[in-house]
Amino acid sequence: MNIVLIFADDLAYADVGCFGAKDIRTPHIDSLARDGVRFTDFYVAQPVCSASRAALLSGCYSGRVGIQGALGPGAKIGISDRETLLPQVLKAKGFATAMVGKWHLGHLPEFNPTRHGFDEWLGLPYSNDMWPGHPDTPRAYPPLPLMDGEKPVQTIENIEQMGTLMQRYTDRAVGFIEKHAGKKPFFLYFAHAMPHVPLAPGKKWIGRSKRGAFGDVIEELDDSVGQLLAALKRTGVERDTLVIFTSDNGPWLSYGEHAGSAGPLREGKGTCWDGGVREPFVARWPGHIRPGSVITEPAMTIDLLPTIAKLTGAPLPKNKLDGKDIWPLLSGDTRAKSPQEAYFFYYNSNELQAVRSGKWKVMLPQSYRSLGPYPETARGGKPVSYKMAKITRPLLFDLVADPGETTDLAAQHPEVLKRLLALAEQAREELGDGPERIGKGVRPVGRAAG
């Protein structure tokens, strides 16, 4: 089998048609749901770039592997070479591996994707707003390099150049499929830069959507998905390929019209409310995944590595994983249950902020960012400021009845609250909680030599 894993950036729960978008056309992503499976309650481990990607590729909570927040161009840390990432798992089974797009697990040479299991990489080392064009702090960032393997091949100096990247990435991805289809199994990790700000649609996509520049980049992204699906069909490996589409965190709401929508979910990126961590997820594998399936059980990106390892017969990493095999769910079996007793959500400096178990979720005491009642939406790519809100006691929500997390049921269900708080304490013991409490299972982050 082959695997194509597509990971968008800041694309929110309701930004594609099959999850409720009304003014953005995504026929190719929607086709994956129609021909495969759609998860309604799929999560990322953290609501921010680097931490989310660390969890996806390692099968571990990002705190276990030492990656927090969003690593900038001045960072001296990255993913440790002691971690075995998904491409390395698959290389052990003879897979050709390639990445296109945003890496964000360390920009120094020792952290390069080609040193962590990828045969090739074309993309950006970190977020596309970490450049001199940043609307608030332009002087904080050096020129933005486009990397091909370990060599910079271009400096991205303006929005027009950035707007060429998605098609350039897609061409590279299609070429990789054509090179290996039918010859050896392959793994393609396509980590889009969009719709993270600054929004940069390709020239022919400008003004095509009803949702402005944000809709333009989503529709171009959907077209990219369509080109990959066409390449799989054209090369005769469509039925041999598992295609997965999801995103790294919820909408960056402070950017207003340049941000997405979490639909019925509360808040967005940078919070552990469901709007920050619940993502659209669709997958297709003809003959293996039941078409048109809808799975309501919770699942998370940490579960993909062990699931893919099981499907390919690859050995699991020797280091402890947090993910579990969710193939019964991924296959579209609506009777299957999540293999996880609970999922844990961390943010800031490894601060445990929420726990989900079954339909129940507890939000733990914390401060979180919220927009508040702004009279106008942020426009033109210039963000407004967040305000800080505070949770002073644990809040309990029934996410089936109340996906918007509006009604606290802690007083009505004290036994449920007690169980989730006990699970939280188990997580603290293993993974820690904030800088003051270090979990016994946390491993060292990678650090630059010298």
CA end-to-end distance (rounded Å), the chain: 42
49 part of the active site? yes
Task: State the catalytic residue, choosing from 28, 104, 107, 196.
Answer: 104
Q: What residue type is assigned to position 60 of the chain?
A: C
Instruction: Name all contacts of 219-223 with Cβ < 8 Å and 24+ positions apart.
Output: 219/24, 219/25, 219/26, 220/166, 220/167, 220/194, 221/8, 221/11, 221/166, 221/192, 221/194, 221/195, 222/16, 222/25, 222/26, 222/27, 222/28, 222/29, 223/28
Task: State the catalytic residue, choosing from 28, 49, 258, 272.
Answer: 49
288 part of the active site? no
409 exposure class (CB count in 10 Å sphere: 0-12, 13-18, 19+): middle
Q: Are 230 and 222 in contact (CB under 8 A)?
A: no
The residues annotated with a catalytic role in the active site are 49, 104
